[in-house]
């Protein structure tokens, strides 16, 4: 079930709240690698390159996901491939086609972004999530998942409740959500991927 | 035919050419019935360390269990007496699978990264260890020669492993999604994989040419006729959970659906051929098991 604006506000994540703290990009500071998380059974090869995953007429809170793909020194990994896939707002994955699936390419500054809807709760999982598979030449492929601090499963306290989903093994994968009210409710999440070797 | 299990069913196997149905329950407790008349054959419970994975040999005579202490044992399925104590795996196991002849046993680490161990069931010797930290496994099938195995990866690829050297021989990249269910024909001339996206891929193992047929979306069960000419595929209820479970018999030469049946809501299913165009299908939800015949 998509999140309502009320749920977002109750979670203390009103418009303008700070997003994920951007990592310091000083050359000396090594960024921590993005934690890995399971690939799951629903990865599908051959997704189209599309930054707009919204399916006209389908329910769901619009969601903007953006971030950077970086190496541990903070150098942008231009041309990195970011494959994303998730369930629709009802918690159902498209197996036959490519709804809510995309293969994005990081820009010269390492940035990527896509529009989609907030994933629903897949019945066999506790938490809403977006799957990621990120690859770049000379880097270890990163397989991970993005979770949402506003997820009702975390009961407003992801610090204490993130492990209610046993697959969420690292708190850092649970990201704050902000609400943009201009032109209708829309959620936004920042998610950087730091790839090791 | 309806059958009521004494506890919720965790796994189902149609063994001994589909003549017997065996349910794996918590414990593990192994309960077997005759498929001919539903008569209870065995009901035994394993007493030992906590079990993390189990698998029944296709003949139904052996049960393999992996335990939390790292142990891997092959038991007599009718008494659960230990037959072979395997050399322990380096990591706790999350899944086990026998070869079609029951001579080899594969164990996958509970850690999601691919870590496969293969044992000789007769001697308990560890034959092969193979790891790939960049991959996760979906399923395995042994070539009937016992010299190689096909490991299906969650990214869709199927990797053929040489079991003597533990080296990949070939990667089959035609499947777009993972194939939890895959099998070699009895003569080893073909390999069939049921991909989650509904494609049924059949490779000729001589030249590795592939045929893509329409199977069953979300398929997670598969059996082949001994000549590899037909397949029965099944899926359980998931994505969404109200999806009816289903089974189909397909002619692998023409791609034609020879028979199909919806199985209602079921979280577990097992399939086996009982004739050239006839299959037996078992499905379970909770403690309720239903046995069905499919095709003529």
B23-74 confidence digits (pLDDT tens): 989 878 889 999 999 999 999 998 888 888 889 999 989 999 998 888 899 9
Q: Do residue A39 and residue B112 have CB atoms under 8 angstroms apart?
A: yes
Q: Do residue A43 and residue B180 have CB atoms under 8 angstroms apart?
A: no
Beta bridge partners of B192: B183, B202
Q: Which domains does chain A have, with CATH numbers?
A: 5-18+51-194 (2.60.130.10)
- Give the pLDDT confidence score for residue B214 in this predicted structure: 95
How many Å apart are CA A76 and CA A194, to the nearest integer?
Answer: 9
Least confident residue range of A9-13, A26-30, A71-75, A159-163: A9-13
Q: Do residue B197 and residue A96 have CB atoms under 8 angstroms apart?
A: yes
Nearest Cβ partner of A123 from B156, B177, B241? B241
How many Å apart are CA B204 and CA B191, to the nearest integer?
Answer: 7
Yes or no: say if B12 and B291 are a contact pair by the CB < 8 Å rule: no
B144 has pLDDT over 70 = yes
Taking contacts as CB-CB distances below 8 angstroms, the residues of chain B near A39 are: 112, 136, 154-155
Residue B176's Cβ-count burial label (10 Å; 0-12, 13-18, 19+) is buried
- Give the pLDDT confidence score for residue A2 in this predicted structure: 33
- Give the pLDDT confidence score for residue A28 in this predicted structure: 52
Q: Do residue B240 and residue A42 have CB atoms under 8 angstroms apart?
A: no
**By the CB < 8 Å criterion, does A51 face chain B?**
no
Per-residue pLDDT averaged across B141-151, rounded? 93
- Give the pLDDT confidence score for residue B26 in this predicted structure: 83
- Give the pLDDT confidence score for residue A29 in this predicted structure: 65
A21 has pLDDT over 60 = no
**Chain center to CA of A165:** 16
Q: Do residue A43 and residue B197 have CB atoms under 8 angstroms apart?
A: no
Nearest Cβ partner of A39 from B136, B238, B241? B136
- Give the pLDDT confidence score for residue A24 in this predicted structure: 42
Per-residue pLDDT averaged across B189-207, rounded? 96
Residues contacting residue A195 through CB under 8 Å, at least 6 positions apart: A33, A34, A69, A70, A71, A77, A80, A134, A136, A139, A140, A142
More confident residue, B253 or B89: B253
- 3-state SS, A125-160, equals CCCCCEEEEEECCCCCCEEEEEEECCCHHHCCCHHH
Is the ipTM here above 0.90?
no
Per-residue pLDDT averaged across B95-123, rounded? 91
**By the CB < 8 Å criterion, does A48 face chain B?**
no
Total-model pTM: 0.88
**By the CB < 8 Å criterion, does A122 face chain B?**
yes
Nearest Cβ partner of A38 from B112, B196, B218? B112
A25 has pLDDT over 60 = no
**By the CB < 8 Å criterion, does A35 face chain B?**
no
Q: Do residue B196 and residue A42 have CB atoms under 8 angstroms apart?
A: yes
More confident residue, A22 or A125: A125
A79 has pLDDT over 70 = yes
What is the chain B residue with the closest CA to A95? Answer: B197
- 3-state SS, chain B, equals CEEECCCCEEEEEEECCCCEEEEEECCCEEEEEECCCCCEEEEEECCCCCEEEEEECCCCCEEEEEECCCCEEEEECCCCCEEEECCCCCCCEEEEEECCCCCEEEEEECCCCEEEEEEECCCCCEEEEEEECCCCEEEEEECCCCCEEEEEECCCCEEEEECCCCEEEEEECCCCCCCCEEEECCCCCEEEEECCCCEEEEEECCCCCEEEEECCCCCCEEEECCCCCEEEEEECCCCCCCCCEEEEEEECCCCCEEEEEEEECCCEEEEEEEECCEEEEEEEECCEEEEEEECC
Taking contacts as CB-CB distances below 8 angstroms, the residues of chain A near B136 are: 38-39, 143
């Amino acid at each position: 079930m998509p999140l309502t604006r009320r749920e977002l506000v109750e979670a203390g994540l009103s418009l303008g709240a700070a997003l994920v703290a951007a990592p310091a990009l000083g050359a000396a500071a090594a960024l921590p690698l993005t934690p890995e998380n399971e690939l799951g059974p629903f990865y599908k090869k051959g997704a189209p390159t599309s930054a707009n995953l919204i399916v006209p007429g389908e329910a769901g809170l619009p969601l903007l996901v953006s971030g950077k793909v970086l190496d541990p020194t903070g150098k942008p990994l231009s041309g990195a491939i970011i494959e994303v896939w998730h369930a629709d707002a009802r918690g159902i994955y498209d197996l036959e086609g490519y709804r809510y699936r995309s293969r994005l390419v990081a820009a010269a500054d390492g940035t990527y972004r896509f529009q989609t809807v907030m994933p629903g709760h897949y019945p066999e999982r506790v938490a809403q999530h977006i799957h990621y598979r990120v690859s770049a030449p000379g880097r270890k492929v990163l397989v991970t998942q993005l979770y949402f601090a506003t997820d009702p499963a975390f009961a407003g306290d992801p610090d204490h409740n993130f492990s209610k989903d046993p697959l969420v093994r690292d708190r850092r994968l649970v990201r704050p959500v902000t609400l943009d009210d201009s032109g209708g409710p829309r959620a936004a999440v920042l998610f950087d991927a730091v790839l090791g070797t | 035919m309806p059958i009521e299990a004494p506890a919720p069913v965790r796994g189902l196997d149609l063994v001994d050419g589909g003549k017997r149905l065996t349910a794996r329950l918590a414990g593990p407790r192994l309960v077997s019935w005759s498929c001919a008349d539903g008569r209870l054959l065995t009901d035994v419970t394993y007493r030992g360390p906590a079990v993390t994975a189990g698998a029944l040999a296709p003949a139904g005579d052996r049960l393999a269990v992996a335990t939390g202490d790292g142990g891997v044992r092959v038991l007599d399925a009718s008494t659960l007496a230990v037959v072979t104590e395997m050399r322990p795996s380096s990591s706790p196991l999350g899944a086990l699978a026998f070869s079609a002849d029951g001579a080899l046993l594969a164990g996958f680490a509970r850690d999601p990264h691919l870590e496969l161990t293969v044992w000789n069931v007769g001697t308990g010797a560890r034959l092969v260890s193979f790891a790939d930290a960049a991959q996760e496994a979906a399923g395995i099938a042994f070539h009937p020669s016992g010299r190689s195995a096909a490991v299906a990866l969650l990214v869709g690829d199927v990797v053929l492993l040489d079991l003597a050297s533990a080296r990949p021989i070939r990667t089959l990249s035609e499947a777009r999604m993972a194939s939890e269910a895959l099998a070699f024909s009895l003569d080893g001339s073909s390999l069939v994989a049921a991909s989650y996206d509904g494609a049924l891929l059949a490779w000729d193992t001589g030249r590795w040419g592939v045929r893509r047929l329409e199977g069953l979306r979300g398929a997670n069960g598969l059996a082949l006729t001994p000549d590899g000419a037909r397949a029965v595929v099944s899926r359980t209820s998931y994505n969404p959970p109200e999806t009816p479970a289903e089974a189909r018999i397909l002619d692998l030469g023409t791609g034609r659906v020879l028979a199909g049946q919806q199985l209602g809501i079921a979280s577990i299913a097992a399939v086996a051929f009982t004739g050239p165009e006839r299959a037996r299908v078992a499905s379970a939800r909770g403690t309720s098991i239903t046995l069905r015949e499919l095709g003529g």
